[in-house]
């Protein structure tokens, strides 16, 4: 009787609490999986009003942070949804085709396009640098990322008419490999800010890289790796700047991928050992010398003593 009196009564979550919880699940969905999360979330909530409002608020943020790319109508190409190309909440500039894509965030589709206005595009002087860099980055991405998409946007000083002004370009590279039938999805996102400083004749380059992977065959393992880089080169002609910048990006990204491969090849021998106790609950030593033969399945969980 006393135990029953001590139990706290269940309280119903408010509308705002439900919405915020729903948004959290949507925003934290792994790359390419927000629609799967949304489907289950809608079923669990059983409240279309809460779900719809949460989706309307969460999907735009998710799409921009994951820099998803969408097919434009009439095979005009892909538009990257990002804060660097955003004109309004539903309009995103594709500088390569000088078109603005109108996006339905929740459906993750491009509904139509319109020609970009003059004020939405850089001057001819800036476009010369943007175009040259875009061509070099396209070449690099096609060689290095089979499912990759890139864009080069001007985010500062786009109205400069000639030498004597500073401006800034942003290189965006995004790639996803979605394979739910094989229980794994992955993504690559990199953003490179190039600050063209006319007076010092220097280009300051800052890069942010993020790699994500999710493996969920009879388990649930997610990887998120981030890194930042800084570099510089000299201010030259548009073509020479483009080649120099592309080479710097290629160098840092290749070096980072190589470092990741080395780090994760050592997981069985180092990291996994440090994550668990010396003896599993079975009191049997784990055969660390043969770790490569195991995968993330129930068989491994049983061997490690992690199963029920």
Rounded mean pLDDT of 44-54?
94
Q: Is residue 11 part of a domain?
A: no
**The 184-197 sheet, strands edge to edge:** 148-156, 167-179, 184-197, 202-215, 221-234
Q: Which residue has the higher pLDDT, 205 or 9?
A: 205
pLDDT in tens, 190-246: 999 999 999 999 999 999 999 999 988 888 888 899 999 999 999 999 999 999 999
- Please tell me which residue, 46 or 276, carries the higher pLDDT value: 46
Q: How confident is the model at residue 296 (pLDDT cuts 50, 70, 90)?
A: very low
- Average pLDDT of the chain to the nearest whole number: 87
Domain contains 194: yes
Q: What percentage of the chain exceeds 70 in pLDDT?
A: 83
What are the pLDDT digits (tens) for 116-149? 999 999 999 999 999 999 999 999 999 999 889 9
Specify if 107 maps to a domain: no
Task: Give the total number of structural domains in the chain.
Answer: 1
Q: Tens of pLDDT along 143-194?
A: 999 889 999 999 999 999 999 999 999 999 999 998 888 889 999 999 999 9
Note whether residue 170 is domain-resident: yes
CA nearest neighbour of 147 among 107, 192, 186: 186
Is position 81 within any domain?
no
CATH number of the domain where residue 167 is located = 3.90.1150.210
Burial group, residue 87, by CB count within 10 angstroms (0-12, 13-18, 19+):
middle
Does any domain span residue 144? yes
Domain of residue 222 covers 122-270
Specify the pLDDT at position 280.
60
Tell me, yes or no, whether 138 lies in a domain: yes
147 part of a folded domain: yes
Q: Which of 10-24, 44-58, 287-301 has the lowest mean pLDDT?
A: 287-301
pLDDT digits 0-9 by tens, 230-268: 999 999 999 999 999 999 999 999 999 999 888 877 776
């Amino acid at each position: 009787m006393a135990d029953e009196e001590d139990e706290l009564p269940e309280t119903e979550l408010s509308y705002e609490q439900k919405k915020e919880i729903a948004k959290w699940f949507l925003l934290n969905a792994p790359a390419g999986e927000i629609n799967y999360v949304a489907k289950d979330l809608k079923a669990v909530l059983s409240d279309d009003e809460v779900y719809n409002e949460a989706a309307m608020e969460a999907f735009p943020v998710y799409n921009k942070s994951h820099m998803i790319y969408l097919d434009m109508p009439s095979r005009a190409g892909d538009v990257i949804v990002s804060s660097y190309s955003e004109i309004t909440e539903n309009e995103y500039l594709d500088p390569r085709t000088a078109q603005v894509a109108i996006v339905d965030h929740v459906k993750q589709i491009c509904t139509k396009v319109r020609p970009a206005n003059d004020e939405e595009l850089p001057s001819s002087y800036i476009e010369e640098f943007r175009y040259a860099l875009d061509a070099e980055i396209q070449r690099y991405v096609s060689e290095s990322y089979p499912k990759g998409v890139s864009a080069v946007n001007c985010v500062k000083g786009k109205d400069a008419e000639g030498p004597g002004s500073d401006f800034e370009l942003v290189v965006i590279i995004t790639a996803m490999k979605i394979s739910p039938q094989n229980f794994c999805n992955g993504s690559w996102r990199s953003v490179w800010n190039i600050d063209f400083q006319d007076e010092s004749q220097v280009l300051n380059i800052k890069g942010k890289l993020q790699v994500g992977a999710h493996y969920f065959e009879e388990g649930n393992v997610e990887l998120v790796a981030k890194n930042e880089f800084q570099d510089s080169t000299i201010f030259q002609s548009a073509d020479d700047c483009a080649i120099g910048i592309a080479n710097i990006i290629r160098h840092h990204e290749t070096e980072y991928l190589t470092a990741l491969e080395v780090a994760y090849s050592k997981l069985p021998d180092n990291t996994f050992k440090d994550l668990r106790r010396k003896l599993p609950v079975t009191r049997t030593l784990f055969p660390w010398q043969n770790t490569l033969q195991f995968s993330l399945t129930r068989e491994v969980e049983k061997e490690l003593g992690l199963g029920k």
